[in-house]
Amino acid sequence: MAANKGDFPVENIRANISLLTDYAPVINLELIIIGLLVGAIFGLIAYGMALVWGVMNIINVAQGAFVILGGYVAFFFTGAMLDLMPGSPRILWIVLSMIVAAFAVGLFALIVFRLVVEKVLEKDLFVSLLATFGVELVMQQSMNQIFTAEERVLDAQLQTFSFLDHMVNIPGSRALGAALGVSAAIILVIVVRYSRFGRAMRATAQNPRAARIMGIDTRQVYERTFALNGAICGVAGSIVAFVYILHPFQGLIYTLRSFVIVILAGVGNIAGVIFAALGLGIYENYAGFVLGPEFQNAMVFIIVPIALLVRSAVLRRKRQYLK
Partner 1 sequence: MKHYILKGVSALAISAFGIGASADTIVLGAAVSQSGKYSTNGQHTMNGYNMAVDMINAAGGVMIDGTAHELAIKYYDDESTPARGAELAERLISQDGVKFLLGPYSSGLTKAIAPVTEKHGVPMVEANGASRSLFTNGYKNLFAVLSTSEQYLASSITLLDEIARASGRDPSSMTIAMAFENDPFSQDIRAGVMDDAAKYGMQIVIDDKLPKDLSDMTPTLTKVRALKPDLLVVSGHSKGAATAIRQINEQNIYVPMLAMTHCDSADIIGKFGAGAENTLCAAQWAPTLTYSDDLMGTAAEFAASFAARYDYAPPYQAAESAAAVMVFADAFTRAGSTDQAAVRDALAATDMQTFYGNVLFDATGKNIAKPMVLYQVQGGALKVVGPTQWAEAEIVHPRPQN
- Summarize as ranges the residues that interact with partner 1 (CB under 8 A): 1-3, 5, 9, 12, 16, 19, 23-24, 27, 30-31, 34, 38, 141, 144-145, 148-151, 153, 155, 160, 162, 166-167, 169, 171-174, 244-245, 247-250, 252-253, 285, 288-289, 292-294, 296-297
> Given the complex with partner 1, which of 5 and 317 has the nearer CB atom?
5
Measured from the Cβ of residue 6, the count of other Cβ atoms closer than 10 Å reads 5
> Given the complex with partner 1, which of 24 and 111 has the nearer CB atom?
24
Give min distance, CB of 34 to partner 1, in A.
5
Q: Give the burial string for 230-255 (b: 16+ CB within 10 Å, else e).
A: bbbbbbbbbbbbbbbebbbebbbebb
AA identity, residue 162: S
Measured from the Cβ of residue 32, the count of other Cβ atoms closer than 10 Å reads 15
Q: Which residues contact 304 (CB under 8 A, 6 or more apart)?
A: 260, 263, 264
Measured from the Cβ of residue 50, the count of other Cβ atoms closer than 10 Å reads 27
Give the ranges where the chain is alpha helix by DSSP (H): 10-18, 27-56, 63-84, 90-112, 118-120, 125-147, 172-194, 196-206, 208-213, 218-243, 252-265, 270-291, 296-317
Give min distance, CB of 266 to partner 1, in A.
26
> Given the complex with partner 1, which of 41 and 201 has the nearer CB atom?
41
Give min distance, CB of 289 to partner 1, in A.
4
Give min distance, CB of 198 to partner 1, in A.
32
> Given the complex with partner 1, which of 142 and 183 has the nearer CB atom?
142
Q: Using alpha carbons, select from 150, 132, 180 the residue that is nearest to residue 75.
A: 150
Measured from the Cβ of residue 8, the count of other Cβ atoms closer than 10 Å reads 11
> Given the complex with partner 1, which of 13 and 116 has the nearer CB atom?
13
> Given the complex with partner 1, which of 125 and 304 has the nearer CB atom?
304
> Given the complex with partner 1, which of 5 and 318 has the nearer CB atom?
5
Query: How many residues are listed for the chain in this entry?
Result: 323
> Given the complex with partner 1, which of 196 and 294 has the nearer CB atom?
294
Give min distance, CB of 287 to partner 1, in A.
8
**In whole angstroms, what separates CA 203 from the centre of its chain?**
25
Give min distance, CB of 141 to partner 1, in A.
7
- Is 264 within 8 Å of 303 (Cβ atoms)? yes
d(C-alpha 212, C-alpha 197), whole Å: 14
Give min distance, CB of 14 to partner 1, in A.
14
Give min distance, CB of 168 to partner 1, in A.
10
Residue 269 DSSP code: -
